[in-house]
């Protein structure tokens, strides 16, 4: 075997099959006769290994300590490189990682220039942000695209909702939702991204110095295919790879998030238009002809004092609190259109709030905090907290009964420390809807001033979740609990009866079945309650098993 070492300023190669015990002078063991037995031995050190210094955790340990040395007979060594100090060669070990990072930045810059070549307005965005957006978690680096994807996903849905709301002013919420889904679906985003050749820029593998080749090395037996992707740009393809369509769509959202976070909404819209998403912030005024006395239907003064915003068109408040069951000729619309745009703006302002307030959050935690803050249960709890259920206009005895029961249940809770889905209450959807429609009403009345919505709605949703108070949805928490312990979750059984959904959840724990049955007005609420109860049972059982193990030890 041939081993390379450093001695002083010379790189040498030791031509001998060595054993681990260098102190026993292994050349005697292999019956090698030294000509110069009394010659001073060379004090040698192992060569530093080529490592990936871009890894998130790069504290790799070699088989030998960095300061380990051994003594070698000069006559069995040959000089390979001289004179190069050991420290200089050690510095060379960083070069592959450095050059790879430069390559990655040039890749990101090329993608940025593709957009800039077609951008009429001046857009400034850091290349490092583009690099973050095209770097997946599999690269094992200190950054990846998931946080930007969360931000981009939220802005994309808001921009699509705003575009559709202003463009199709006579369409109801159902039609708007269908059109929005077609625009922002993963399949649609993937197709647009592929048309712009974005998959070729996605980074999906960690850097491996062992297989790394110097850029421009013509000795490699690889041919490059030249492809013109714009009048000013060419790419050189080295081969092909498989990337899931959802991953491509996620990268597209991350790129949108990169533009939003560094250059603002107009820059993000510019990128989206280049991508093929025809979304514009239309300047078309919202037509409204509702000459009604708003105070006749809702307490305008109370609501305005609560949200600290004065409406120029109070009829928007009436529309925001009108349920579909309330039929009067004076009020031609219910709250559904305002709920459609309000849902998107609340999601967006909360995502931006969390992204900016906690810049050091891990992407997973940011997503969990967003989910914990943006859901119907949180909104419904907020509505009851401020008595907004009293302002709802509806004609439905069943809805009235459900709201009354909910209010009685909420009064027993400590609202100041309770988040929406941490309670056992099944909230009627209308309670969450009116918070969204109220946000939509403020957005329309203020001519799409997002800051006004933020100033009015965020205080109502206090306390906003923090990294310390975030909780997972019971359904997801149960899934993760079972997956982490190898338990098997069985398919839930749902039985509707008399307008109530009964759901049975079962978990197989090493042959023992644990189950729970819950009922609620809808399937999702029943599933949440059943998962929460079952999770508590399993946690108690696991704690009991762990205690018995400790006692037996």
Sequence-distant (6+) residues with CB within 8 A of 404 are none
Q: Which of 341, 351, 281 is nearest to 316 (CA)?
A: 341
Q: Which of 381, 424, 428, 382 is nearest to 404 (CA)?
A: 428
pLDDT of residue 229: 60
**What structural domains and CATH numbers belong to the chain?**
2-92 (no CATH), 102-213+224-275 (1.10.1520.10), 294-461 (1.10.1520.10), 478-552 (3.30.160.740)
Measuring CA to CA, how many Å separate 200 from each of 53, 193, 238, 243, 248? 24, 10, 10, 10, 10
**Residue 390 pLDDT greater than 90, yes or no:** yes
Report the SS3 class of residue 339: helix
Q: For 54-75, give the DSSP string.
A: TSSS-----SS-TT-EEEE-GG
Binned at pLDDT 50, 70 and 90, residue 285 comes out as low
Dihedral angle sign, alpha carbons of residues 154, 158, 160, 161? positive
The C-alpha atoms of residue 300 and residue 315 are separated, in whole angstroms, by 10
Structural contact between residues 502 and 526, judged by C-beta atoms closer than 8 angstroms: yes
Residues of the chain with pLDDT > 70: what percent?
Answer: 83
More confident call, 42 vs 271? 271
- pLDDT per residue over 211-264, tens digit each? 777 776 666 555 666 666 666 666 666 667 889 999 999 999 999 999 999 999
- pLDDT per residue over 222-232, tens digit each? 566 666 666 66
Hey, which residues does 15 pair with through a beta bridge? 2
Share the mean pLDDT of the chain: 83
- pLDDT per residue over 169-216, tens digit each? 889 999 999 999 999 999 999 999 999 999 999 999 988 888 777 776
The C-alpha atoms of residue 483 and residue 509 are separated, in whole angstroms, by 11
pLDDT of residue 273: 92
Q: Which of 303, 454, 470 is nearest to 378 (CA)?
A: 470
Dihedral angle sign, alpha carbons of residues 388, 390, 395, 401? positive
Structural contact between residues 51 and 57, judged by C-beta atoms closer than 8 angstroms: no
- pLDDT per residue over 2-30, tens digit each? 455 555 445 555 444 343 334 445 555 55
Report the SS3 class of residue 77: strand
Report the SS3 class of residue 552: helix
Structural contact between residues 302 and 316, judged by C-beta atoms closer than 8 angstroms: no
The C-alpha atoms of residue 177 and residue 180 are separated, in whole angstroms, by 5
Binned at pLDDT 50, 70 and 90, residue 474 comes out as confident
Structural contact between residues 359 and 473, judged by C-beta atoms closer than 8 angstroms: no
pLDDT of residue 24: 41
Please list, residue by residue across 468-494, b when 16 or more beta carbons sit within 10 angstroms of its beta carbon and e when fewer do.
eebebbbbeebeebbeeeebebeeeee
Structure tokens at 490: 């069985």
Measuring CA to CA, how many Å separate 86 from each of 10, 63, 66, 82, 498? 8, 19, 12, 11, 81
The mean per-residue pLDDT over the stretch 416-424 comes to: 59
The mean per-residue pLDDT over the stretch 122-149 comes to: 91
The mean per-residue pLDDT over the stretch 312-334 comes to: 90
Sequence-distant (6+) residues with CB within 8 A of 385 are 410, 415
Sequence-distant (6+) residues with CB within 8 A of 413 are 423, 425
Structure tokens at 223: 């041919």
């Amino acid at each position: 075997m041939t081993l390379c070492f450093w001695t002083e300023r010379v790189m040498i190669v030791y031509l001998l099959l060595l054993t681990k015990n260098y102190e026993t002078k292994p050349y005697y063991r292999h019956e090698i006769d030294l000509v110069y037995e009394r010659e001073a031995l060379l004090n040698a050190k192992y060569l530093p290994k080529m490592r990936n210094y871009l890894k998130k955790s790069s504290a790799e340990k070699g088989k030998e300590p960095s300061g380990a040395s051994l003594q070698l007979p000069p006559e069995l060594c040959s000089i390979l490189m001289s004179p190069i100090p050991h420290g200089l060669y050690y510095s060379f070990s960083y070069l592959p990682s450095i050059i790879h990072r430069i390559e990655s930045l040039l890749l990101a810059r090329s993608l940025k220039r593709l957009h800039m070549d077609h951008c009429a307005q001046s857009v400034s965005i850091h290349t490092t942000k583009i690099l973050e957006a095209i770097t997946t978690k599999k690269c094992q680096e200190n950054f990846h695209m998931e946080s930007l994807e969360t931000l981009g996903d939220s802005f994309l849905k808001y921009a699509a909702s705003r575009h559709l709301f202003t463009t199709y002013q006579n369409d109801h919420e159902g039609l708007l939702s269908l059109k929005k889904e077609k625009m922002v679906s993963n399949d649609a985003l993937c197709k647009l991204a592929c048309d712009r050749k974005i998959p070729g820029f996605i980074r999906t593998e960690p850097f491996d110095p062992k297989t790394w080749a110097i850029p421009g090395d013509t000795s490699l037996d690889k041919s490059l295919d030249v492809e013109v992707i714009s009048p000013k740009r060419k790419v050189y393809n080295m081969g092909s790879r498989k990337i899931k369509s959802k991953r491509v769509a996620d990268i597209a959202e991350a790129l949108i998030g990169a533009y939003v976070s560094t250059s603002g909404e107009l820059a993000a819209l510019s990128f989206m238009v280049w991508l093929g998403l025809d979304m514009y912030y239309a300047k078309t005024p919202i037509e409204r002809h509702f000459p009604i006395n708003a105070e006749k239907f809702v307490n305008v003064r109370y609501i305005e004092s609560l949200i600290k915003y004065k409406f120029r068109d109070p009829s928007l408040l009436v529309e925001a609190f009108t349920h579909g069951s309330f039929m009067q000729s004076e009020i031609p619309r219910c709250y559904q259109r305002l709920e459609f745009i309000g849902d998107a703006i609340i999601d967006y302002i909360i995502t931006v709030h969390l992204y900016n307030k906690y810049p050091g959050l891990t992407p997973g935690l940011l997503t969990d905090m967003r989910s914990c803050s943006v859901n119907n249960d949180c909104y419904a709890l907020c509505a009851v907290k401020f008595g907004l259920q009293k302002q709802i206009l509806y004609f439905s005895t069943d809805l009235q009964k459900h709201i009354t029961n909910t209010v009685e249940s909420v009064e027993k809770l400590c609202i100041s420390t309770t988040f929406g889905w941490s309670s056992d209450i099944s909230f009627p959807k209308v309670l969450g809807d009116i918070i969204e429609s109220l946000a939509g009403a403020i957005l329309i009345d203020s001519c799409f001033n997002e800051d006004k919505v933020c100033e009015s709605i965020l205080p109502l949703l206090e306390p906003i979740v923090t990294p310390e108070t975030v909780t997972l949805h019971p359904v997801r928490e149960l899934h993760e609990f079972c997956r982490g312990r190898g338990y098997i979750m069985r398919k839930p059984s749902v039985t509707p009866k008399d307008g109530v959904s009964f759901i049975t959840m079962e978990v197989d724990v090493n042959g023992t079945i644990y189950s729970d049955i819950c009922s609620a007005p809808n399937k999702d609420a029943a599933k949440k309650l059943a998962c929460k109860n079952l999770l508590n049972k399993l946690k108690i059982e696991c704690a009991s098993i762990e205690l018995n193990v400790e006692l037996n030890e």
